Structures are given as C-alpha cells and as structure tokens.
C-alpha cells in the first residue's frame, strides 16, 4: 500500500504543471568571494613569510607578482650580526677622506702563470719614473725568470690559480694585500701577462691619479651568461638577483676601494660558496667576473666608472677574447686602440648592445683605454718597433 502511494506521489509530481523559478537577485556568488579571499591570503602569506631560499614571488609567475607587489607593504628583513658588522666597516671606509700624497705611486699588479713575456716593453714604459710606480707579480705556476732589472724582487708569495674558480679572486686579493702595505701606493692596477701599455707613463699616471673614481667594469648582462644564467638564490638574502652584476676582471682602483675589498668577508664568502662552475646544476658562475662588479654595485655604485681601462676584443664571441699575433701588429692598430672614446657592453649570447658609455675623466671626454690584451709573446718585436711612435702620438682629447 505504501508502495502504491509512493508511486502515485511520484506520478503526481511528474504531472504537476511546471512552476516558474525566480532566482533571487540579491544573492551573491559566495564561491567567488571565498576564492578571492583565499588567493589574497595566500599571496600575502607568501610575501610576509617566504622560504629562506626564495623571494616572495616564488609561488607565482613574475607577471602576477609584479601586479601586486606595488601595493604590498615592504618586507622588513632581519639583518644578521655579520651583515651589520660588514655595513659598519664598509660605511666607515667610504666615509674616510682620501689622503693625497705628493709622492703617490701606482701599483702595477701582474697576474701571470710564470715569466712575463713583455718585460722589455714594460721596462721601456717605466724608464725614468722609478719614484712613481711599484710592481707586484703573482706567478701561479712557476717562478718567473726576470729578463729586466725593473722586475727584480717583485714576486710575491703565490698560489695556484684555476680559471673560473675563486682562486682567481684570491690571487687578486693577495696582490692587493701586498701592494697596500706601501702607504704611497694610491692607485692599484690589475694586469695580465698578455697586457701591454697603450700610452706613455706620464699620460697613464695623470689619468689614474687625477681620477675621482675607480675603474671597475660593471653592467647588467641580460643574456644567458649574465644574471639569469649565473645568479644563485643561495646568495640570498645578502645578495639579491637585482644587485647581481657582471664585468671584466681587469680593474684599476683607488686606495680606498682597495681597502674595502681587503676588508670584505661577507660578500666574498657568498661568491666563494655559491659562484663557481656547475652551480645549481647547469649554471656556470665565474667569481672574477661577478664578485667586484656586484660588490661595488651594492656598496658604492657612484664611486666606479662602470668600465675597464684595459681593452679586450670580444668580437669573435667565444669563451676567451681574441689574441693578437705578430701579423696583426701595426701602427694603425695601436693608434686605433689608444684613441677609442666609447665603451660598449654587449649581452652574452646575443648581438645586442646593452649600453654605450662615452669615456670621460672627471666629466671631460678622454680615451677609454690605457692598456690592452691579449697579445701573444711573438708580438714583442713588433710592439717594440711601434712603441715610441705610439707613445708620442698626439691625441686631441688629451690635455
């Protein structure tokens, strides 16, 4: 009986006339509101409490994060004792008034595997200026055999140097430490065994001693061998990706900046641990190309010229720059190198110019390069032949 009643009820319902349903216009889609709230909470939580190895955007795409980061409050990062101490020391060094000495000298620091092939050329360059320079040689493989008395007793305690490893930076710091002990050394130039001078000593001396900045190459390489391809998030939080820079290792720096490099341990340690070939799988980071550019971009960007004074030819777009042979040497080549007045930064892996720099000295236009590399030892005789004419070359921009 109950079954019949149920069946009749179902039949009755099926034959009931359809009724018009009226959706309440005041009822809001609650699921959308809930979803928006959850997304907002997740984004704020990811920003305020990010994992230590990642930035606040690691949950989301860069585009999504960029849309919200403008209205999110800035995150306050707790500074460690080591970082605080580093900031105090660096600020103290940068606040020091540079001491100008009438007997100021330039420290020429040579980084070489063994004997310098261009000692005779450099001897001619230094001749007659013995009270205005000092020489330091770091020979990483074999003790040099000096062919010139100018280089006698210039070797410092040296250690093995491996291309692309932190040992290259260690050798640079070792040279700086030895040269810094002479209080008369006011400027410090890093040179390789394949470097040659492009101007006479007087011009080089005036250029460097009158400069109010150090010459450290520094730019943001947007190519695959730049920031994105070499930066490691292990450098966080002290070194962020936005601060990571690249540049040629051949620097020329003021005494104040030499002291800063020697005093730094915090940033040096970051690069020693997290900037090396094979980092993070397929990333190849080379400390000598990134440590100093990144350091000075962070602590004293206005104190460097963002360019090197050593010419290097990268037109072949290979891992190593072009090396000049004897057949390449001519008066025209050396004249052209000594009169270049624009410096270009090109993104790695691309034929794309990042920036052009018009070279100047304290706001006055000047040639870019005082030195050049790489030259094979076989070029010595040709270079000696053209040395005197080039050094007496009149340069319009030079006063």
pLDDT band at residue 293, thresholds of 50, 70 and 90?
very high
Strands (DSSP E) found in the chain:
105-112, 133-139, 185-192, 196-197, 214-217, 252-254, 277-279, 283-284, 304-306, 310-311, 342-346, 353-358, 360-361, 364-365, 371-372
**How far, in Å, CA of 312 to CA of 320, rounded?**
10
Q: What pLDDT was estimated at residue 137?
A: 98
Q: Which residues touch 391 (CB under 8 Å, ≥6 apart)?
A: 199, 200
Residue found under tokens 């080089």: 204
Residue found under tokens 């930066």: 231
| Class of residue 226 by CB neighbours under 10 A (exposed 0-12, middle 13-18, buried 19+) | buried
Spatial contact of 120 and 148, defined as CB atoms under 8 Å apart? yes
Lowest mean pLDDT among 111-115, 227-231, 269-273: 227-231
103 pLDDT above the threshold of 60 = yes
The larger pLDDT score, comparing residue 284 to residue 137, is at 137
Taking only Cα atoms into account, the Rg of the chain, rounded to an integer number of angstroms, comes to 31
**Which residues is 361 bridged to in the sheet?**
364
Q: What pLDDT was estimated at residue 32?
A: 76
**How far, in Å, CA of 3 to CA of 134, rounded?**
112
Mean pLDDT computed over every residue of the chain = 84
Q: How far is CA 284 from CA 186, 209, 224, 275, 364, in A?
A: 35, 36, 10, 8, 38
* pLDDT tens digit sequence for 202-244: 999 999 999 999 999 999 998 888 888 899 999 999 999 999 9
* pLDDT tens digit sequence for 117-165: 999 999 999 999 999 999 999 999 888 888 899 999 999 999 999 988 9
Q: Is the peptide bond before 23 cis (omega within 30 degrees of 0)?
A: no
Q: Which residues of 312-340 are buried (b: 16+ CB within 10 A; e: fewer)?
A: beeeeeeeebeebeeeebeeeebeebbbe
Report residue 160 CA to chain centroid gap.
Answer: 23
The larger pLDDT score, comparing residue 337 to residue 355, is at 337
Which domains can be identified in the chain, with CATH numbers? 83-96+103-310 (3.90.550)
């Amino acid at each position: 009986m109950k079954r019949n009643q149920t069946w009749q009820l179902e039949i009755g319902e099926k034959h009931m006339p359809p009724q018009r349903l009226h959706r309440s216009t005041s009822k809001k889609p609650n699921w959308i509101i809930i979803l928006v709230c959850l997304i907002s909470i997740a984004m704020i939580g990811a920003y305020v409490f990010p994992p230590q190895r990642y930035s606040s955007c690691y949950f989301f795409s860069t585009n999504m994060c960029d849309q919200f980061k403008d209205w999110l409050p800035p995150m306050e990062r707790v500074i460690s004792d080591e970082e605080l101490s580093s900031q105090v020391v660096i600020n103290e060094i940068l606040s020091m008034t540079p001491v100008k000495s009438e007997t100021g000298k330039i420290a020429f620091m040579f980084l070489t595997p063994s004997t310098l092939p261009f000692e005779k050329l450099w001897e001619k360059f230094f001749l007659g200026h013995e009270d205005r320079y000092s020489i330091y040689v770091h020979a990483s493989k074999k003790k040099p055999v000096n062919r010139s008395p100018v280089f006698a007793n210039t070797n410092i305690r040296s250690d093995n140097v491996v291309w692309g490893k932190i040992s290259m930076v260690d050798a640079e710091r070792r040279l700086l430490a030895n040269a810094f002990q002479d209080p008369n050394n006011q400027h410090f130039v890093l040179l390789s065994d394949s470097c040659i001078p492009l101007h006479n000593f007087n011009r080089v001396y005036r250029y460097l001693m009158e400069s109010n900045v150090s010459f450290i190459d520094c730019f943001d390489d947007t190519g695959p061998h730049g920031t994105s391809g070499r930066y490691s998030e292990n450098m966080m939080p002290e070194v962020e990706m936005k601060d990571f820079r690249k540049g040629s290792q051949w620097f020329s720096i003021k005494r104040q900046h030499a002291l800063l490099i020697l005093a730094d341990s915090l940033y040096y340690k970051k690069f020693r641990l997290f900037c090396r070939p094979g980092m993070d799988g397929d990333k190849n980071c080379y400390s000598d190309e990134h440590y100093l550019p990144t350091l000075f971009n962070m602590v004293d960007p206005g104190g460097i010229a963002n360019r090197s004074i050593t010419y290097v030819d990268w037109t072949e777009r290979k891992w190593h720059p072009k090396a000049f042979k004897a057949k390449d040497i001519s008066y025209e080549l050396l004249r052209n190198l000594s009169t270049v007045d624009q410096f270009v930064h090109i993104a790695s892996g691309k034929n794309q110019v990042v920036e052009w720099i018009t070279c100047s000295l304290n706001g006055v236009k000047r040639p870019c390069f005082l030195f050049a590399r790489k030259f094979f030892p076989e070029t010595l005789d040709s270079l000696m032949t053209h040395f005197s004419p080039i050094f007496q070359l009149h340069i319009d921009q030079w006063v």
